């Protein structure tokens, strides 16, 4: 039988704990349900009808535009709420973005997403979503009456 010094037992124990932690982390990721497709409104924590502000940033210029007119916001959200996000088999980080959109309620950010990702999940590029975001960005903000 091999006898180890007490300090060596501590090193051996720490190594075994690290191995178990690494293995259990990998298993947890493998057991997560695969994302296949989801509609935009399913990502929103609450009711899209409660959104009262949209901010959209252009990835090419960095310009940020803000929309606060409730009618304009709801009209745009109605046009994108059922757009399907199809999970991308390629999970690499891209370089840059076309648009970044924030949806807010009473000044609190409820959802932020790019044209190809939401919550660190990547999706195939939706031409429909890209087109709707571009249309919104070039649209002047309606007078919100504030």
Residues 145, 85: Cα–Cα separation, whole Å: 34
Indicate the pTM of the whole model: 0.70
Domain boundaries, the chain: 1-32, 37-138
Q: Which fold has domain 37-138?
A: Dna Ligase; domain 1 (3.30.1490)
Which residues 6+ apart lie within 8 Å of 98 measured at CB? 58, 59, 60, 114, 115, 130, 133, 134
Per-residue pLDDT of the chain (146 residues; tens, 9 = 90+): 566 566 666 565 555 544 445 444 433 343 344 458 899 999 999 999 999 999 999 999 999 999 999 999 999 999 999 999 888 877 665 677 899 999 999 999 999 999 888 888 888 888 999 999 999 999 998 765 44
């Amino acid at each position: 039988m091999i006898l180890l010094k007490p300090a060596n037992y501590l090193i051996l124990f720490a190594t075994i704990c690290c191995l178990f932690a690494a293995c259990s982390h990998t298993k947890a990721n493998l057991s997560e349900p695969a994302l296949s497709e989801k509609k935009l409104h399913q990502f929103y924590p609450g009711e899209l009808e409660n959104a009262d502000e949209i901010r959209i940033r252009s990835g090419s210029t960095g310009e940020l535009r803000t929309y606060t007119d409730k009618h304009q916001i709801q009209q745009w959200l109605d046009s994108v709420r059922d757009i399907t996000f199809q999970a991308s088999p390629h999970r690499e980080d891209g370089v840059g973005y076309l648009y970044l959109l924030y949806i807010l309620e009473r000044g609190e950010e409820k959802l932020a997403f790019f044209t190809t990702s939401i919550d660190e999940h990547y999706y195939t590029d939706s031409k429909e979503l890209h087109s709707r975001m571009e249309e919104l960005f070039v649209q002047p903000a309606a007078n919100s009456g504030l």
